[in-house]
Chains A and B, each alone.
Chain A
């Protein structure tokens, strides 16, 4: 007569090995991370593509605007506009041109003001200094 099997004890005795569970859990986590990274890369890739297209489109628009601006700045166009608005422009006569010498240009405004004050004082025009 053999011993009777204790089924209750048997079923309660099966325990999933913890290391295996850990390995499987880790693998699942890595797999999920991989999938998430893949998805993220795809999304970023799509965004880069959209931005690339947008950049190309903007470059075209910049070119188009540059073209318009260059056309508007052309002397022929400016003269046509001046005629359209009845504006007659001529170069100044020689007598109307003031040639500023280099030494005049470097005189700072403060120095000019001081010179004026000094000359007024010398002439007795500035009393309350």
Chain B
């Protein structure tokens, strides 16, 4: 009897256990095999992690690999005011944060003294050094948020060329804008699951598309040359109380830009507080009547066509010539001058008469071949094309005015390109500012290749022009102040009156410029210096030529440019003594 009772108990317990296990198993089967869409979705949503992996923009570097723009990992300093107040640490935390973050203590205390808040930004975009100092203090209720921002370690240096990218990481000026698609890179994607502690489980990664980091852009510019140029422009602005100044240095044979500077400048790190006017890259975005520097193109065209030779003599009318009822003046009065001296002494009347030997149509053709009225295509946004009307729209006076650089507008880069074309035996090169683009793996995506835009004049004409332009910097030439010991310098001065908004020319405001190349016997670098509204000296020879010389003196040493051959200099000296070519 007792034995039977035991057996029944065991049987009942077993049955109960089987029933429980069966119930659990059934539920399990139903959960796994049944159609529990809501439940499945809820679990998946809780566990699933879908994360965009953001990458920073690529860097911008100068030709020697010096970084001029980069993304920098920073942190936002945040606080939990409720915790800080509950612990009674308001005074300590507030004073330390204000001191370390260099903030107004009253502002910090006002942000922390909010018992109902659990999150407050104290300061955004804080450098890691400062964050480490705050961390070491172990302030309760203070924490950090990862972020990044575009930084320009050189500040104002190269600002107009590099430009800036906005808070959304979109290039908004300069190389940042033009090369945006390459600099930006591509975000990655990661789909995975997380555990109960909300940590990602590596083994549950179902998709992992690696981000494609932005490419690095190497410029043709050299930060040291850029600094030399910018410093010289600063000095020129101070000395001549000028409104602005800009300069470009170009490698003659290839068209690579070595320096491009503008004054006034701005700090791209502070672009939000900068007026748009300061951001204008005047070297390519400001058109002006070039004045006498333009005579170079006109005389080169006439020599190339054979309508004149360097010895052809023109009457310069003692400084005043009435042409079609309107007077044309020279800065200094001259009588009869050969073409070589028209260029050396920069006679407007002489240049006008030379241009008339070409005629309107041929003159226009040559000017267009020199690149006037057409953007050069440099890798920078906002380049102006300049103004050159078709000859059908020219007035009867136009040919005489264009010859002296009026009724035509160019950018400094266009003017420099004309001069470098003459230095380069007639080949006009496409100016370039990007040397190469390298992806994150170190593979070169694009590399600079010299490109010929046009060849308006023959080699013999170009060589003749090189010799004629060297005379401009000799004694008696308008560009004598650009002369450099040991180097034969070729160039041309320009002093253009500014156009008044209502029409006519200003008697007080003008643009002084000097464009040239050196050494003239084996040209390597070309340069233009433009000074806007200098006072009281106003001519290109007095204002811009000395700046050219100052920059050139340092550039030839830095670039290790060989001095002019003694024979070349001697020939120039002999030519000087004889008063001829």
Contacts from A to B (Cβ < 8 Å) = 41-42, 44-46, 48-49, 59-61, 63-64, 66-67, 70-71, 73-76, 91-92, 94, 97, 99
Residues of A within 8 Å of B76, CB to CB, are: none
List the 8 closest pairs (A to B, CB-CB), nearest first: A45-B202, A60-B73, A75-B227, A70-B153, A70-B67, A71-B153, A45-B203, A94-B486
Chain B, range 134-191, C-beta contacts under 8 Å to A: 151, 153-155, 157
- Alpha-carbon distance between A45 and B208 when the two chains are bound, in angstroms: 14
Please report whether the interface of chain A is mostly helix, strand, loop or mixed according to DSSP: helix
Query: Are B73 and A75 in contact (CB-based, < 8 A)?
Result: no
- Alpha-carbon distance between A66 and B56 when the two chains are bound, in angstroms: 15
Q: How far is the CB of A47 from chain B (nearest CB, A)?
A: 9
Contacts from B to A (Cβ < 8 Å) = 56, 66-68, 70-73, 127-128, 151, 153-155, 157, 199-203, 223-224, 227, 485-486, 553-554, 557, 562-563
Residues of A within 8 Å of B155, CB to CB, are: 74, 76
> Residue on A with the closest CB to B200?
A49
Q: Take A91-B557, A99-B562 as given contacts and tell me if A67 and B223 are in contact as well, using a CB distance cutoff of 8 Å.
A: no
Q: Take A48-B202, A63-B70, A64-B73 as given contacts and tell me if A94 and B563 are in contact as well, using a CB distance cutoff of 8 Å.
A: yes
- Alpha-carbon distance between A61 and B131 when the two chains are bound, in angstroms: 13
Partner of A75, one of B128, B224, B563: B224
30 contacts between A and B (CB under 8 A): A42-B203, A45-B201, A48-B202, A49-B199, A49-B202, A60-B73, A61-B128, A63-B70, A63-B71, A63-B72, A64-B73, A66-B67, A67-B67, A67-B153, A70-B66, A70-B67, A70-B70, A71-B154, A73-B66, A74-B66, A74-B153, A74-B155, A74-B157, A75-B224, A76-B154, A76-B155, A92-B557, A94-B485, A94-B563, A97-B557
Residues of A within 8 Å of B154, CB to CB, are: 70-71, 74, 76
Residues of B within 8 Å of A46, CB to CB, are: 202
> Residue on A with the closest CB to B554?
A91
Q: Take A49-B202, A76-B227 as given contacts and tell me if A67 and B72 are in contact as well, using a CB distance cutoff of 8 Å.
A: yes
Residues of B within 8 Å of A71, CB to CB, are: 153-154
- Alpha-carbon distance between A75 and B66 when the two chains are bound, in angstroms: 11
> Residue on A with the closest CB to B61?
A70
- Alpha-carbon distance between A66 and B65 when the two chains are bound, in angstroms: 11
- Alpha-carbon distance between A92 and B200 when the two chains are bound, in angstroms: 62
Residues of A within 8 Å of B67, CB to CB, are: 66-67, 70
- Alpha-carbon distance between A60 and B71 when the two chains are bound, in angstroms: 9
- Alpha-carbon distance between A99 and B485 when the two chains are bound, in angstroms: 15
Q: Take A70-B67, A94-B485 as given contacts and tell me if A75 and B223 are in contact as well, using a CB distance cutoff of 8 Å.
A: yes
Q: How far is the CB of A3 from chain B (nearest CB, A)?
A: 25
Please report whether the interface of chain B is mostly helix, strand, loop or mixed according to DSSP: mixed
- Alpha-carbon distance between A52 and B396 when the two chains are bound, in angstroms: 75
Residues of A within 8 Å of B70, CB to CB, are: 63, 66-67, 70
> Residue on A with the closest CB to B203?
A45
Q: How far is the CB of B248 from chain A (nearest CB, A)?
A: 18
Residues of B within 8 Å of A48, CB to CB, are: 202
Q: How far is the CB of B538 from chain A (nearest CB, A)?
A: 29
Residues of B within 8 Å of A97, CB to CB, are: 557
Query: Are A74 and B223 in contact (CB-based, < 8 A)?
Result: yes
Residues of B within 8 Å of A60, CB to CB, are: 73, 128
- Alpha-carbon distance between A92 and B73 when the two chains are bound, in angstroms: 42
- Alpha-carbon distance between A73 and B68 when the two chains are bound, in angstroms: 11
- Alpha-carbon distance between A61 and B203 when the two chains are bound, in angstroms: 28
Q: Take A92-B557, A94-B485 as given contacts and tell me if A41 and B128 are in contact as well, using a CB distance cutoff of 8 Å.
A: no
Residues of B within 8 Å of A75, CB to CB, are: 157, 223-224, 227
- Alpha-carbon distance between A42 and B127 when the two chains are bound, in angstroms: 35
Q: How far is the CB of B223 from chain A (nearest CB, A)?
A: 6
> Residue on A with the closest CB to B68?
A70
Query: Are B557 and A64 in contact (CB-based, < 8 A)?
Result: no
Query: Are B128 and A99 in contact (CB-based, < 8 A)?
Result: no
- Alpha-carbon distance between A87 and B533 when the two chains are bound, in angstroms: 35
Query: Are B153 and A99 in contact (CB-based, < 8 A)?
Result: no
- Alpha-carbon distance between A67 and B151 when the two chains are bound, in angstroms: 8
Query: Are B203 and A41 in contact (CB-based, < 8 A)?
Result: yes
> Residue on B with the closest CB to A57?
B73
- Alpha-carbon distance between A66 and B71 when the two chains are bound, in angstroms: 10
Q: Which among B56, B200, B203, B553 has the greatest number of chain A C-beta atoms within 10 A?
A: B203
Query: Are B153 and A64 in contact (CB-based, < 8 A)?
Result: no
- Alpha-carbon distance between A64 and B130 when the two chains are bound, in angstroms: 12
Q: How far is the CB of A83 from chain B (nearest CB, A)?
A: 13
Q: Take A45-B202, A97-B557 as given contacts and tell me if A64 and B128 are in contact as well, using a CB distance cutoff of 8 Å.
A: yes
> Residue on B with the closest CB to A69?
B67
Residues of B within 8 Å of A76, CB to CB, are: 154-155, 157, 227
Residues of A within 8 Å of B153, CB to CB, are: 67, 70-71, 74
Since A63-B72, A94-B563 are in contact, a sample of 4 more A-B pairs with Cβ atoms closer than 8 Å, ordered by chain A residue number, is A63-B71, A67-B67, A76-B157, A76-B227
Q: How far is the CB of A56 from chain B (nearest CB, A)?
A: 9
- Alpha-carbon distance between A78 and B559 when the two chains are bound, in angstroms: 20
Residues of A within 8 Å of B202, CB to CB, are: 44-46, 48-49
- Alpha-carbon distance between A46 and B199 when the two chains are bound, in angstroms: 10
- Alpha-carbon distance between A45 and B195 when the two chains are bound, in angstroms: 13
Residues of A within 8 Å of B485, CB to CB, are: 94
Residues of A within 8 Å of B56, CB to CB, are: 63
Q: Take A45-B203, A70-B66, A94-B563 as given contacts and tell me if A64 and B227 are in contact as well, using a CB distance cutoff of 8 Å.
A: no
